[in-house]
Amino acid sequence: MDFTKMQGLGNDFIIVEAISWEEAGKYQVHAEKLCNRFLGIGGDGLVVIGNDSEADVFMRIFNSDGSEAMMCGNGIRCVARYVYEKKLVSGTAFSVRTMSGLKYPVLELDSDSVSQVRVDMGEPVLQNQAIPVNAPGSNLGLEVLLEKGCLTGTAVSMGNPHFVVLVDSIEATPIEAWGSEVEVHRIFPERTNVEFVQVLNSDEMIMRVWERGCGVTQACGTGACASTVAAVLNGKTGRRVTVHLLGGDLLIEWDKDNNRVYMTGPAENVFSGRIELA
């Protein structure tokens, strides 16, 4: 199997090609082994792509634990650069079919080389039943009872579920302990990604993430989008925010009509190779 290793702000992926959306599903059984950082290639996820009948290309993502993800912001930027450089698409703007619907990347070029990728991530979902969250009422001020204490946060879906917790200090936050417990909490029937956010000012925030199916990662694009939406809804920031992640920065914009969220950030090639599938 030929593959390319790519990363977006340190969130790394193994990218392979398949002839169809259905054929891509056959790679799921290999995801956990391939993503193993000691026994495989290593990565936060296995991304299978190819030309598509419903969009220009498709993208299916299998997490490092073997589960399938609905969407991945850093992953789609990597895919956008890959399909452009491999000439699977003819222009710098195209459509990508994902488990959470069509997404629309636009490549920013510098002397014909991809410098940044801007992606229309769609409209955030704010209704509990659709996120999904097993709780009545608003997605704001949700309380999650933990073994030791209670966390209050905001639920948002960006095609995948997120629970955003505003904290006073990232450094003082037990991200692994809280994240692992919240991910599988009964209030989230499909599990959830968990973001911890320290707002610096109306234009900047620090975010750390516990990703569903992966654990702590260097960055999460959909998480940065969900965190910005949550910060706006809670009156903490404006609609154009630089999100500081472990792997670097993302620019997130939520339009004034509450319709579309746009994410801009880098995507880099790491290496390519071939590996035998057992």
Taking the C-alpha atoms of residue 103 and residue 214, their distance in angstroms, rounded to an integer, is: 23
| 225 tagged catalytic | no
**Is 83 in contact with 46 (CB distance < 8 Å)?**
no
Kindly list the distances between the CA atom of residue 4 and the CA atoms of 16, 143, 197, 240, in Å, as whole numbers in the listed order: 7, 41, 32, 32
| 72 tagged catalytic | yes
Active-site pick, 35, 72, 78, 214: 72
Active-site pick, 35, 78, 214, 220: 220
Which residue's structure tokens are 């490549």?
A: 107
Active site residues: 72, 220
